[in-house]
Chains A and B, each alone.
Chain A
């Protein structure tokens, strides 16, 4: 009887654990708040204008205009875009958030603030699930007075590392915690 009770308790604990682990960004509701909306129900297209705040779990995006296509599950965000997730802040002029792949592509006047690092690049791909930011093309990393120039840089948020995407994958800097 006691064994059965113990097994039941264990089963409940494991179930709760699995359920809470499964509650990742993929299950979270996407919300778009704005001053004005234009919704085309025929094409399933949602246009939000002025004072936009997009939220999905810990992901917060501020902008002036956003267009969401439900079929593609993609949000195209333009004009003074600010993307916040965990410890990272991305400033840019245009961005696309894919709700299916949980990837953000940002470009134009791009700058990223991560802890006390400021990273500027032409274009980035942020893989939210993996916690990786890929900076494409010429990239500048600055921290206080130190400036490092590189190409195709990767920021690993989970490992707190910034490294180049070349074959050697040498670590440019190990980010202090």
Chain B
């Protein structure tokens, strides 16, 4: 009879430990990636990605190995698309630009205002998420 209680107690203890370990690991923050280079103060940089080119004017550019993060930036593409946002996550491998917070995309007099948008450099298209609006001026 005692053994039964003991087994039950051990079982509960194991459950408690598993539960706690999950909790503990989830609380521990992931180690923040350190950028290889940080360019600060209003900076304009020109980039070439295959056949495409673009320029970034930003307050801060954090350059990592495969991507970079830009804050308070204007990105101008050779296609004529201009994206302005508070932050950008640029994936150079996929040629994707994820713009977040107060996003404004201008293309030939048409403006997109929203909260989040992804620009696909090679396909020259973008997708806007989480609500927004497009304003068309009369040509």
Contact = CB atoms under 8 A, between A and B. Distances in A.
Interface of A: 26-42, 44, 46, 48, 51, 68, 70
Contacts, number: 71
B21 interface: no
B136 A41 contact: no
B138 A31 contact: no
B131 interface: yes
Given A36-B128, A46-B110, 9 more contacts: A27-B138, A33-B133, A34-B131, A35-B129, A36-B127, A38-B127, A39-B107, A39-B112, A44-B108
Pairs A-B, 3 closest by C-beta atoms: A37-B128, A33-B133, A30-B136
Contacts of B110: 46, 70
Interface residues of B, number: 26
Interface of B: 79-81, 105, 107-108, 110, 112, 114, 117, 123-138
The majority secondary structure among interface residues of chain A is strand
A35 B125 contact: no
B76 to A, nearest CB: 13
A34 B132 contact: yes
